[in-house]
Amino acid sequence: MHTEQAAINVRVSALLEDLPKERSQLLPALWRVFEEYWLLEPEMIEAISNAMGVPYAEVYGVASFYALFDNPEGCRPIYVCTDVMCALRGSEDLLKSGQVGAKGTPVSIKGAPCLGYCDEAPALFDGKVTKTQVTQDALAQLIRGEKHA
Amino acid sequence: MPEVRRLLPESTCRSDPASPARFTERGWDRAMERALSMDPDEIIADVKASGIKGRGGAAFPTGVKWESVKKALGDMRYVVMNADESELGTFKDRALLQQDPLGALVGVLIAAHAVDAQKAYCYIRGEYRQAEGRLKDALGTLRQLGWVGPNGVDIEIRRGAGAYIAGEETALLNSIEGKRAEPRVKPPFPTNQGLWGRPTLIQNVETLANVAVLLAHDVNWFKEYGSSDTSGTKLIGLSGHVRRPGVYEVPFGYPLANLLNDSDLGGGVAGSQRLGAILIGGAAGTFLSSDEINDSVLDYASLARYGANIGSGALMVFDDTVDLRWVLRKLARFFSDESCGQCVPCRIGTRRVLELIEHGGLTTRQDDLRELSQAMRDASICGLGQTAPVALLSLLDRPDLIQG
Amino acid sequence: MHDQLRLTIDGVNVTVPQGSTVKDAIEATNQSVPTLCWHENLEPANACRACVVELKGSRVLVASCSRAAEDGMEIQTTTERVLNSRKLVAELLMSTSNADLAFDLQHLAEITGANPGRFSGGATWERPLQDDNSLYVRDMAKCILCYRCVQACGEDAQNTFAISVAGRGFEAHIDAGFGRELPESDCVYCGNCVAVCPTGALIGKTEWNLRQEGRWNEEGLTRTDTICSYCGVGCALTLHVLDNRIVKVTSPADHPVTHGMLCVKGRYGYEFAQVEGE
């Protein structure tokens, strides 16, 4: 546990090395660490707290505010929009089929509020890019692709 | 009438959207040179004369806002571009940033010059990675051309992380400052006390793009389109049961029915091909019946007759097979998930609205829903809680739209 | 610039000094303003909305606790909208939280004619008691998220920042980080969070134990003021004594040194005074 924390501290401070150590850089700092691990566990919050000089409880308070940082499984998240316009085009079934298909893979399929691609529904966000007019086959391929990656 | 191309580039525009060639092709060199040759007060006078209103939803007169920031006391001023577009059914800023990212950034630079700001932030929602990439490239181009940099205005891009409320202007400021994105109580307004207590101008992407096209031309040119109440054009996000969903630029005053049906715009109702209703303005929007749609034009006063608002420019179209109670449940879920949790009427109210709707309260608990809605509208801290019940109330007032 | 501001409160003219809030102006007419989150020594959190009033020219109601009074303001405190909002605030909080020790909330419910069960039956704030240290207990099922404890722990008093609001929306809650126990947190046990808590969600261990045993007796308490002898600062202490035992220590909120805030020694270092015979 202790050595793990030390290793994370080293990695996090390297990730944040060039960021100004200001409170206003907390969100960019959280992004960098999140994209390195795809999760924010107590050890990472502790390391960010140390590196940025922001109290632990406050780092957690900020991180837990944002939906995109809520990924405790640490799997690569794929967000399927289940809001009105995408749901009209079958995104709820898409979400279900994805969740079944993702079992046992390093991918987790989550529902998401409106992704802002209502004109090309249904849409998903794979953590890096948005894909539109997604079919169940396309999602299955995406999940399989992640498995090999 | 064909759709207008001002904020969006002409379809003949073939240059890379973030390139120096595009900068010239769109006339942004002209806009920048003109702006820098003008006294800041002249720019503000032009923005006022143009009649540009904020395009994020509130429709506050842009020039008046600029004047407030300019006059506010402070050793430092900021400009913030609000690209945290997360309103349900809304995607026009995303389209604008992908198709023409330089325009909005030129608007930022003009605004910074006009209000004497030294630093600007572009806050973009965390899921808009492609648009963020475009914005980064465009910023690189402006640096390369010498318009952005240590000697002028510095621009920093900030990425949100999945919070609709961060688009509320004071919540956005807290997010930039590294705090929880909870709205602040107003007054004081950001124009006087924004980022780190300094005067701050916050504008929507589309508003800033309007400023760029205004300065690339002039006030008379700008006012060639629009209504007597509202000049210029508006980006509309059409989605749902229309043949041609997408982002369209049309003049204010344009008939809503034409927006749905014109062959080069919505192209007509899809699905059952019979119009049920539209939800205009986003999650906090208003359901309009087809009679109301046929009687309305795209302008604030026209829509206000039906208690509706252009809002973010979202126009969600439903054919007559859609159960609007289902839509309402989705909206209630959205607000309940996206409330920041700070104030009681919104934190608990949005959850209770959702629960009541899920358990048949639309018919059995109408009085409770109305009283709760009134308290949310009256007593919530910010626009989220204040407007969360709007769509619900609009449907309660239009029982004919509810089936069965 | 006027030194004095003139307002009308429910049609009554009142004059208050510059820097007053709308709440101050209302109180100057001998009316009281219901509040839950407001505390005299903390920055207004604006969270509970119990103090809202109608301001002429304002589309929405304004929180009187934080809104600066301005010359010429016309305020209404008893309109239907004001009373509806206040009643709903009480009903909503009663539907989520255990209000057994939330006396201000009980009072709000009473004066607004709230029906405490009106919105019950849905999600609540029920959660397990956190009893992880010897000085105070956290019973967050009683929490109304007034932000007072966070402010007292942070920049308004203690500057420790051991707790923060975490999560969002209905799930927003007070947290030391990942729900961790206080001994693992940055907590220094000053108990200032306990002192400002208006609902008993944070409560001294001695009081909590006595209440559990049915031996807490508010009427039987005697209060004695003294000066803390641990260091030279001179903090005023109020010793709350029940059956000849000190059961709680507070400090007067209007004391110029403490403003009601103490350190761990002043607040919890009282057991030595009652060790018998050794």
Nearest CA to CA, how far is B319 from chain A (Å)?
Answer: 11
**How much is the pLDDT for B149?**
87
* Burial of B351: CB neighbours in 10 Å, binned 0-12, 13-18, 19+: buried
Is pLDDT above 80 for B130?
yes
Give the separation between CA B159 and CA A31, rounded to whole angstroms. Answer: 8
Q: What is the mean pLDDT of residues B241-252?
A: 98
Give the separation between CA C237 and CA C227, rounded to whole angstroms. Answer: 6
Going by pLDDT thresholds of 50, 70 and 90, the confidence category of residue B325 is very high
**How much is the pLDDT for A126?**
94
Candidates C60, C67, C93; nearest CB to B378: C60
CATH topology classification for B233-319: Ubiquitin-like (UB roll) (3.10.20)
Could B316 and A84 be called an inter-chain contact, meaning their C-beta atoms sit closer than 8 Å? Answer: yes
Q: Are B404 and B296 in contact (CB under 8 A)?
A: no
pLDDT, tens digit (0-9, with 9 covering 90-100), for C10-63:
999 999 999 999 999 999 999 999 999 999 999 999 999 999 999 999 999 999
Nearest CA to CA, how far is B217 from chain A (Å)?
Answer: 31
Domain boundary among A69, A97, A128: A69
Domain spans, chain B: 20-222, 233-319, 324-401
* ipTM of the modeled complex: 0.96
**How much is the pLDDT for A146?**
52
Q: Do A140 and A118 share a domain, yes or no?
A: yes
- Chains contacting C with at least 3 CB pairs below 8 Å? A, B
Is pLDDT above 50 for A147?
no
Which positions ≥6 away from C251 have C-beta within 8 Å?
C195, C235, C236, C237, C238, C258, C260, C261, C262, C266
**Residue B184 carries which DSSP code?**
P
pLDDT, tens digit (0-9, with 9 covering 90-100), for C51-87:
999 999 999 999 999 999 999 999 999 999 999 999 9
CATH architecture type of domain B324-401: Up-down Bundle (1.20)
Q: Do domains B233-319 and B324-401 have the same CATH topology?
A: no
Give the separation between CA A102 and CA A139, rounded to whole angstroms. Answer: 10
**How much is the pLDDT for B150?**
80
**How much is the pLDDT for B8?**
97
B338 vs A contacts (CB less than 8 Å): 113
Candidates C160, C168, C177; nearest CB to A60: C177
**How much is the pLDDT for C271?**
77
Q: Do A53 and A80 share a domain, yes or no?
A: no
Could A113 and B176 be called an inter-chain contact, meaning their C-beta atoms sit closer than 8 Å? Answer: no
What CATH number is associated with residue A135? 3.40.30.10
Could C60 and B379 be called an inter-chain contact, meaning their C-beta atoms sit closer than 8 Å? Answer: yes
| Lowest-confidence region among A1-10, B254-263, C33-42, C241-250 | A1-10
The model scores a pTM over 0.95: yes
C168 vs A contacts (CB less than 8 Å): 64-65, 67
pLDDT, tens digit (0-9, with 9 covering 90-100), for B164-215:
999 999 999 999 999 999 999 999 999 999 999 999 999 999 999 999 999 9
Is pLDDT above 90 for B301?
yes
Give the separation between CA C39 and CA C197, rounded to whole angstroms. Answer: 10
Q: What is the mean pLDDT of residues A6-27?
A: 97
**How much is the pLDDT for C198?**
98
Q: Is A114 on the interface with B (CB under 8 A)?
A: yes
From 3.60.150.10, 2.60.40.10, 3.40.50.11540, 3.40.50.300, which CATH number describes the B20-222 domain? Answer: 3.40.50.11540
Nearest CA to CA, how far is A31 from chain B (Å)?
Answer: 8
Is pLDDT above 50 for A148?
no
What is the set of domains in chain C, with CATH numbers?
1-120 (3.10.20.740), 136-274 (2.20.25.90)
| Lowest-confidence region among A90-99, A137-146, B77-86 | A137-146
Percent pLDDT > 90 in chain A is 93
Alpha-helical segments (H) within A16-149? 26-37, 42-52, 56-63, 84-88, 91-101, 136-148
Domain boundary among A69, A91, A126: A69
Nearest CA to CA, how far is C171 from chain A (Å)?
Answer: 10
Q: Which domain holds residue A83?
A: 76-148
Going by pLDDT thresholds of 50, 70 and 90, the confidence category of residue C273 is confident
Taking the CB of residue B228, how many other CB atoms lie within 10 A of it?
A: 11
C147 vs A contacts (CB less than 8 Å): none
Going by pLDDT thresholds of 50, 70 and 90, the confidence category of residue C274 is confident
Q: Is B310 on the interface with A (CB under 8 A)?
A: no
Give the separation between CA B117 and CA B223, rounded to whole angstroms. Answer: 27
Q: Do A133 and A104 share a domain, yes or no?
A: yes
The CA–CA distances, whole Å, from B267 to B244, B264, B281, C18, C145 equal: 6, 6, 20, 60, 50
Could C123 and B381 be called an inter-chain contact, meaning their C-beta atoms sit closer than 8 Å? Answer: no
Give the separation between CA C53 and CA C40, rounded to whole angstroms. Answer: 19
Q: Is C243 on the interface with A (CB under 8 A)?
A: no
B349 vs C contacts (CB less than 8 Å): 88, 92
What Rg value do the Cα atoms of chain C yield, rounded?
Answer: 20
Chosen for mutation from B94, B122, B182, B239 (greatest number of chain A CBs closer than 10 Å) is B239
**How much is the pLDDT for C276?**
64
pLDDT, tens digit (0-9, with 9 covering 90-100), for C119-170:
999 999 999 999 999 999 999 999 999 999 999 999 999 999 999 999 999 9
Could C172 and B342 be called an inter-chain contact, meaning their C-beta atoms sit closer than 8 Å? Answer: yes
Q: Do A138 and A80 share a domain, yes or no?
A: yes
Nearest CA to CA, how far is C273 from chain B (Å)?
Answer: 42
Q: What is the mean pLDDT of residues B246-250?
A: 98
Q: Do A88 and A57 share a domain, yes or no?
A: no
Candidates C164, C167, C168; nearest CB to A57: C164
**Residue B224 carries which DSSP code?**
T
Tokens of A2: 């202790």
Whether the bond into B251 is cis, omega within 30 of 0: no
pLDDT, tens digit (0-9, with 9 covering 90-100), for C175-213:
999 999 999 999 999 999 999 999 999 999 999 999 999
A31 vs B contacts (CB less than 8 Å): 126, 159, 161
pLDDT, tens digit (0-9, with 9 covering 90-100), for A50-80:
999 999 999 999 999 999 999 999 999 999 9
- Chains contacting A with at least 3 CB pairs below 8 Å? B, C
Candidates C167, C168, C177; nearest CB to A57: C177
Q: Do A114 and A65 share a domain, yes or no?
A: no
Candidates B338, B374, B380; nearest CB to C169: B338
Nearest CA to CA, how far is C61 from chain A (Å)?
Answer: 27
Domain total in chain A: 2
Going by pLDDT thresholds of 50, 70 and 90, the confidence category of residue B153 is very high
**How much is the pLDDT for A149?**
39
Q: Do A92 and A30 share a domain, yes or no?
A: no
Could A57 and C178 be called an inter-chain contact, meaning their C-beta atoms sit closer than 8 Å? Answer: no
**How much is the pLDDT for C1?**
53
**How much is the pLDDT for B125?**
98
Nearest CA to CA, how far is B160 from chain C (Å)?
Answer: 15
**How much is the pLDDT for C2?**
58
pLDDT, tens digit (0-9, with 9 covering 90-100), for B368-387:
999 999 999 999 999 999 99
CB burial string A111-124: b at 16+ within 10 A, e below: bbbbbbbbbbbbbb
Candidates A28, A61, A115; nearest CB to B180: A61
